[in-house]
């Protein structure tokens, strides 16, 4: 019988370094984060949406984007999750990830939400329902990547969407 | 026919599944061979009669062999035949079925085979490899993975519509209970809503029992032209409607984290093809791709089984129970078995078995029309396949 026969395992591993080309659009975006702590989106000439993160083309209108627009640094957390599980190879929990709609942007940015109590997700949910206002916190030492924004933190400025 | 286009009758004539779960006793090609031989036997066909083979598996890093279509070609029965790999993330298996349909509907061949496989238990860092599906320029740093992606969608649904964790837990309870009657199912759990709510929190609000297991396994289906299908089976599962749509890539581009902009559009088109006006009444059973409880909630809304935001009430009313208005996932669904790359082909296979009347202990009585729904990518791809007991347009 097949089920009574022994089947062994052979060890394997993938550990393959890459260097991804960011392209000139993302590179300009990162440069502005690094040099001026400014967040730039790209406007589509047809639908007028401001894409964040910025991309060189609008996939809906299928045309190149042609205009830089400063957005944020404040916005609203539209949805979030708190990770408690220590997934192998990923960062140590707990951490809060949000989709953040910055002022002036038409799309949302995925990023960390910081300076919040990660042990009370229900309280965070209640804040999102009420309009969870946040602002970008920039790192002191910036290297030109999406992590030049360290996270978004709660801010009370009375603005309501 | 309302759409005015002449369509060729095409039917599913054979289904083969392996047992899902830990399959340490067989290699990955062995799994493929097991599903293909089962499907050929079910269709009473010899491999020589297959005109083309379509292969599917999901992230290469999950199997751990790059481009496993090469590894599995012989096991798929593809030697000496046209052979293509098809890929659309989690919906890749159903996309292979669509490709096989196109091959037959175009007249290119009389019989085509779709086979899909997954080996989900061998990687030691599954969410790390899922994270590599995300954009390395802007998004990967945030440790987004399959679970946190659907956690974002769950919180979004709770914010917008007041959906509760209890309502989602009921989805888990039903799927697991149904799996008790499926000999192929991986997890067979008789659990309560409390068990789900008390299970370990992974990515709030998604708990362990809101998620699927990692399953090894393979599935294959044989698709044939109208004349061949009638020869091969007294009751083929006829393709009445079949459509897939893509959305863009970035999660933050979606106005709402839902299936509105891809699956809902695919459903409208598939219903038009199948002349379905009121899906809740006209579909007799549905197999939905629900790796997370929220996936099923999002699907029932996009498929028009209830209004947008009404999934919680739909569940509370018991409509998707085995004795309800529209039984959902008699197989136990993806929540009980997730052979990732094969899981959407399993939905099509189970829908076919329901129409054939061959779903054994999980059979819904009197099925004339079954729907399979599949999703792939980070809420990006949506597929609907409608199978019925009579052909349309043939």
Peptide bond into B205 cis (omega under 30): yes
Reading the block at residue B151, the tokens are 């956690």
Question: Is residue B90 very low, low, confident or very high in pLDDT (cuts 50, 70, 90)?
Answer: very high
pLDDT at B347: 98
The total number of residues shown for chain A amounts to 161
pLDDT in tens, B91-119: 999 999 999 999 999 999 999 999 999 99
pLDDT at A22: 96
- Residues A138-149 have a mean pLDDT of 97
Interface test with A, best of B197, B203, B257, B292 (most A CBs within 10 A): B203
Peptide bond into B80 cis (omega under 30): no
pLDDT at B381: 96
pTM: 0.96
- Which residue from B minimizes the CA distance to A124? B155
Q: What is the 3-state secondary structure (H, E, C) of chain A?
A: CHHHCCCCCCCCCCCCCCCCCCHHHHHHHHHHHHHHCCEEEEECCCCCCEECCCCCEECCCCEECCEEEEECCEEEEEEEEEECCCCCCCCCCCEEEEEEEECCCCCCEEEEECCCCCCCHHHHHHHHHHCEEEEEEECCCCCCCHHHEEEEEECCCCCCC
Distance (Å) from the C-alpha of residue B387 to the closest C-alpha of chain A?
A: 32
**All domains of chain B, ordered by start, with CATH?**
10-123+213-388 (3.40.47.10)
Name the residue ranges covered by the structural domains of chain A: 21-154
Q: Do B139 and A95 touch (CB under 8 A)?
A: no
Q: Do A82 and B152 touch (CB under 8 A)?
A: no
Pick from B203, B206, B251: which is nearest to A99 by CB? B251
Distance (Å) from the C-alpha of residue A159 to the closest C-alpha of chain B?
A: 20
pLDDT at A1: 46
Nearest to B30 by CA among B90, B95, B98, B115: B115
Q: Do B155 and A79 touch (CB under 8 A)?
A: yes
Distance (Å) from the C-alpha of residue B260 to the closest C-alpha of chain A?
A: 15
Query: How many contacts, defined by CB atoms under 8 Å, are there between A and B?
Result: 123
pLDDT in tens, A54-88: 999 999 999 999 999 999 999 999 999 999 999 99
ipTM over 0.90: yes
Question: Is residue B255 very low, low, confident or very high in pLDDT (cuts 50, 70, 90)?
Answer: confident
């Amino acid at each position: 019988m097949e089920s009574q026969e022994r089947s062994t395992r052979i060890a394997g591993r993938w550990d393959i370094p890459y260097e991804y080309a960011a392209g000139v659009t993302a590179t300009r975006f990162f440069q502005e984060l690094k040099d001026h702590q400014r967040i730039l989106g790209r406007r589509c000439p047809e639908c007028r949406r401001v894409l964040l993160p910025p991309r060189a083309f609008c996939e809906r209108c299928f045309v190149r984007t042609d205009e830089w627009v400063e957005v944020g640094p404040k916005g609203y957390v539209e949805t979030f999750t708190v990770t408690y599980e220590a997934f192998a190879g990923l960062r140590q929990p707990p951490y809060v990830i949000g989709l953040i709609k910055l002022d002036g942007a038409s799309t949302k940015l995925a990023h960390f939400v910081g300076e919040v109590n990660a042990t009370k997700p229900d309280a965070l949910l209640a804040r999102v329902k009420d309009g969870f206002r946040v602002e970008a916190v920039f790192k002191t030492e910036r290297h030109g990547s999406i992590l030049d924004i360290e996270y978004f933190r709660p801010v009370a400025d009375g603005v309501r969407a | 026919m309302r759409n005015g286009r002449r369509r060729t009758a095409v039917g599913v004539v054979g289904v083969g599944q392996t047992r899902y779960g830990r399959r340490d006793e067989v290699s990955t090609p062995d799994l493929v061979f097991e599903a293909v031989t089962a499907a050929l036997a079910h269709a009473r066909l010899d491999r020589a009669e297959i005109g083309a083979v379509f292969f599917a598996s999901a992230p290469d890093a999950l199997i751990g062999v790059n481009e496993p279509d090469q590894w599995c070609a012989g096991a798929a029965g593809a030697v000496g035949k046209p052979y293509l790999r098809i890929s659309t993330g989690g919906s890749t298996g159903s996309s292979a079925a669509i490709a096989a349909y196109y091959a037959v509907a175009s007249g290119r061949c009389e019989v085509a085979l779709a086979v899909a496989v997954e080996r989900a238990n061998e990687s030691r860092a599954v969410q790390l490899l899922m994270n590599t599906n995300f954009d390395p320029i802007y998004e990967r740093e945030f440790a987004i993975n399959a679970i946190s992606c659907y956690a974002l969608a769950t919180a979004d649904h709770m914010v917008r519509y007041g959906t509760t964790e209890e309502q989602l837990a009921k989805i888990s309870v039903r799927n697991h209970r149904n799996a008790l009657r499926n000999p192929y199912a991986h997890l067979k759990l008789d659990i309560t809503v409390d068990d789900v709510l008390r299970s370990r929190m992974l990515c709030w609000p998604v708990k362990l029992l809101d998620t699927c297991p990692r399953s090894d396994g393979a599935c294959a289906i044989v698709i044939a032209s109208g004349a061949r299908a009638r020869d091969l089976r007294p009751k083929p599962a006829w393709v009445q409607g079949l459509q897939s749509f893509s959305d863009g890539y970035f999660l933050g581009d979606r106005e709402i984290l839902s299936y509105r902009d891809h699956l809902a559009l695919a459903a409208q088109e598939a219903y038009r093809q199948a002349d379905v006006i009121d899906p809740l009444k006209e579909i007799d059973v549905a197999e939905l791709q629900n790796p997370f409880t929220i996936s099923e909630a999002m699907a029932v809304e996009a498929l028009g089984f209830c209004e947008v935001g009404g999934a919680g009430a739909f569940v509370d009313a018991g409509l998707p129970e085995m004795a309800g208005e529209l039984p959902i996932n008699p197989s136990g669904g993806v929540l009980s078995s997730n052979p990732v790359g094969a899981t959407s082909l399993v939905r099509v296979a189970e829908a076919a078995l329901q129409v054939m009347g061959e779903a054994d202990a999980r059979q819904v009585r009197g099925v004339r029309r079954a729907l399979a729904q599949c999703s792939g990518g980070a809420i990006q791809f949506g597929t609907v396949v409608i199978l019925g007991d009579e052909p349309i347009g043939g």
